[in-house]
A and B are shown apart, each in its own frame.
Chain A
Amino acid sequence: IVAKTPHDEL
């Protein structure tokens, strides 16, 4: 899984 919007981290 590559991160993209929406990002779940702060």
Chain B
Amino acid sequence: MNIFRLTGDLSHLAAIIILLLKIWKTRSCAGISGKSQLLFALVFTTRYLDLFTSFISLYNTSMKLIYVACSYATVYLIYMKFKATYDGNHDTFRVEFLVVPVGGLSFLVNHDFSPLEILWTFSIYLESVAILPQLFMISKTGEAETITTHYLFFLGLYRALYLINWIWRYYFEGFFDLIAVVAGVVQTILYCDFFYLYVTKVLKGKKLSLPA
């Protein structure tokens, strides 16, 4: 465990909590893509099945349980409790265009052709693109609430910090996971445009709105 990995995990946790609190405090999930949140719940579910088969550390187990619980809570708030505030008309990204190719790819390119490993690979590939419905929604409405941008910032920062973690681990531990690294690079690149807007607009106190 290095500092980049730890801050990456904490940044991921911060993103998840920010989103939950935003929905809970405002009693509304306006501007949030339920589809992205469903995909994240699927990501955590398929990745953390190893909770049943292997124990790494108390930290590892508790973080996994927290991520899974929070992602299900978020989905519950969007599709059940605050369903009336869910902006389904703008959440029109076709998720099958992500899930089907990602599913196929995880069968073709993986470290080991075993059920758990294929599901882990699926979750890594899916996570890298799971934010697309959310970004698509923002590009469709042309704006995002500031709190939503903080959520996206921490979510993007998490994968960027993981990239530094992987460089660190490569040099100091000889650890290298091509699948995670390639997917992590793709995932981070998807946030670059958003990072630019976040720094040039949101951090200067302006609302994130896109030119018409």
Contacts and interface: CB of A to CB of B under 8 A. Distances in A.
Interface string A1-10: 1111111111
Contact of A3 (B54, B116, B176): B176
Contacts of A9: 5, 162, 180
A7 B50 contact: yes
Interface of B: 5, 9, 12, 47, 50, 53-54, 56, 60, 63-64, 67, 111-112, 114, 116-117, 120, 162, 173-180
Interface of A: 1-10
B120 A10 contact: no
Contact of B176 (A2, A5, A10): A2
8 contacts: A2-B176, A4-B112, A5-B116, A5-B120, A7-B50, A9-B5, A10-B64, A10-B67
Contacts of A5: 50, 53-54, 111-112, 114, 116-117, 120
